Structure 1
Amino acid sequence: MPNKILIVDDDNEIRKITGIYLENEGYEVLKAENGEQALKIIAENDIDLVLLDIMMPVMNGIEACMKIREDNIMPIIFLSAKSEDLDKIQGLASGADDYITKPFNAMELLARVKSQLRRYTRYSTPQNAAKNIIEVGNLTINTDTRQVLVGDKEIRLTPKEFDILELLARNKGIVFSIEKIYERVWGEEFYKSDNTIMVHITKIREKIEEDPKKPVYIKTVWGVGYKI
């Protein structure tokens, strides 16, 4: 069964061209013009990855991403004409896993899509998942089911947030620089101007820490990186 990818963009030409790229790679493509249509399609289909524009009528990409994340963990990649760091931070903070600026190169898009699907498929396939429970204080991480509990409360993390948390938890006491975290989790070369790791760490803390400003689990080692 081919992976199903949902393209959400109010620009018909972008939906058409992007769809051709993906279909030529063997993916099944579904399309939506706005966030509301996207939510309906996701509710009726098993979507493996979402390509999501930010600036759309009816429901924009940020709102749609947050709604999708209430019940779904598939990778979400933003496609946006905005390239400012603040826009990228806002997009990633809403629950997206990656961000590509328009106009994008077809090869780059396909590489990002394949990278996200590899990680998602590996972690969501039971026979390939690591059957393991990691416990850190009141925090429990099930790498088999990709569930995170703080006490008895289940915490919903995006795939990338989970990967970062698992990386740190499996290596308790070891300090990881933002470069190492990025390279281990994304599998790509790190760029110095990239704020991706900072954004994801902030979101994880907001979800698992009682007081994110005084974190108990993910500690900052100033000038070096992060550790559990």
Structure 2
Amino acid sequence: MPHTLLLVDDEEKVLEFMEPFLRQEGYRTVTAMTGTDALAKAKEHGPAVVVLDWMLPEMSGIDVCRELRKWSRAGIIMVTARAEEADKVIGLEVGADDYMTKPFSLRELSARIRSVLRRLEGHDREASPEDPPLQRGGLTISEAQCRVWRGGKEIPLTPTEYKLLLTLAARPGIVYSRLQLLQSAQEDDYLNDERTVDAHISRIRRKIEDDPASPAYIQTVYGFGYRFGGRQ
């Protein structure tokens, strides 16, 4: 079965630019031109990846992303004309997996979609009894199921968040640079904006830490990157 993509943009010409190419790439495509329609189409079709414009009528792409993350594990690629780093961080902090700035090439879009799909497929693979979970203090991390629990309660993580946490937790005390973490989570060398890691780490901390402002699990090593710390 081909993967379903939900393409969301309020400009018809942009959808006409993306849709034929992505269909030729073997995807099934569904389109929406407003935020509310995007949410309705996402519930109806269960897309694997949502390519989501920031500026939409009725509700913004940021609000759509925030709502999707309440119930969907679809990969989300934010697309916008806004190139400022602060805007990129906002998109990632509300749950986007990747961020593209207009104008972009169709080949780059296709590569980003493949990267997100690889992460999703790794995130959803079957459990294996030969792959015991990691125990890190109050955290249980199942590499077989790509799931995380804290105190018996499952923590909902995006594929990117899960890969970052697993990379750090697998080798406690080892300091990873932002670039190393980005390559671990994203797989593609061209996705080289290291500051996106900070946004993902911030989201993970809000989910697993008692006090995200004073983290016990994921610690910052100033001038270098991050390490998995206490509660061992």
Query: What TM-score do the two structures reach when normalised by structure 1?
Result: 0.94
Match of residue 89 from structure 2: 89
Cα distance in 1 between the residues matched to 2:16 and 2:66: 25
* Count of aligned residue pairs for this structure pair: 228
1:195-219 per-position Cα deviation (integer Å, ceiling 9, x unaligned): 1011111111111100011111001
CA-based RMSD: 1.9
Correspondence for 1:205: 205
SS in 2 for 1:205: helix
CA distance in 1 between counterparts of 2:202 and 2:155 reads 15
- Aligned in 2, Cα 1:194/1:180: closer, same or farther, shift over 3 Å? closer
Q: Distance in 2 between matches of 1:147 and 1:77?
A: 22
Corresponding residue for residue 137 of structure 1: 137
In structure 1, how many angstroms separate the alpha carbons of the residues matched to 2:130 and 2:89?
31
Q: Is the 8 A contact 2:51 2:79 kept in 1?
A: yes
Q: Hey, what does 1:166 align to over in structure 2?
A: 166
Secondary structure of the corresponding residue to residue 176 of structure 2: coil
Is the alpha carbon distance of 1:22 and 1:212 closer, same or farther for their aligned partners in structure 2, counting shifts above 3 Å? same
170-179 or 96-105: which moved more? 170-179
Give 1:25's aligned residue.
25
Deviation at residue 146 of structure 1 after TM alignment: 2.5
Secondary structure of 1:56's partner?
A: coil
1:58-97 superposed matches below 5 A: 58-97=58-97
Q: Which residue of 1 aligns with 2:108?
A: 108
Q: Which amino acid aligns with 1:6?
A: L
Cα deviation for residue 191 of structure 1 reads 7.3
* Cα offset, 1:193, TM superposition: 5.7
**Residue in structure 2 matched with residue 153 of structure 1 by the alignment:** 153
Gaps of 5+ in 1: none
SS of residue in 2 equivalent to 1:126: coil
Cα displacement string for residues 93-128 of structure 1 (whole angstroms, at most 9, x for unaligned residues): 110000000110111111111111122123213179
Structure 1 contact 52–76 (Cα < 8 Å) conserved: yes
SS at match of 1:148: strand
In structure 1, the residue matched to 2:122 is: 122
Displacement after TM superposition at 1:226 (Å): 0.8
Q: Whole-Å Cα distance in 2 between the matches of residues 225 and 219 of structure 1?
A: 9
Structure 1 range deviating more: 37-46 or 140-149: 140-149
Residue range with higher mean Cα deviation, 113-122 or 58-67: 113-122
CA contact under 8 A between 2:77 and 2:97: conserved in structure 1?
yes
Report which stretch shifted further, 151-160 or 85-94: 151-160
Q: Say whether 1:14 aligns with 2:14.
A: yes
Label 1:128 to 1:107 Cα distance change in 2 as closer, same or farther (>3 A). Answer: farther
Contact 1:130 1:143 in 2 (8 A): no
How far residue 135 of structure 1 moved from its aligned partner, in angstroms, is 1.4
Q: Which aligned pairs between 1:177-216 and structure 2 lie closer than 5 A?
A: 177-189=177-189, 194-216=194-216
Identity between Structure 1 and Structure 2 (%): 39
**Rounded Cα–Cα distance in structure 1 between residues aligned with 2:216 and 2:22:** 43
Cα gap change, 1:67/1:142 in structure 2, threshold over 3 Å: closer, same or farther?
same
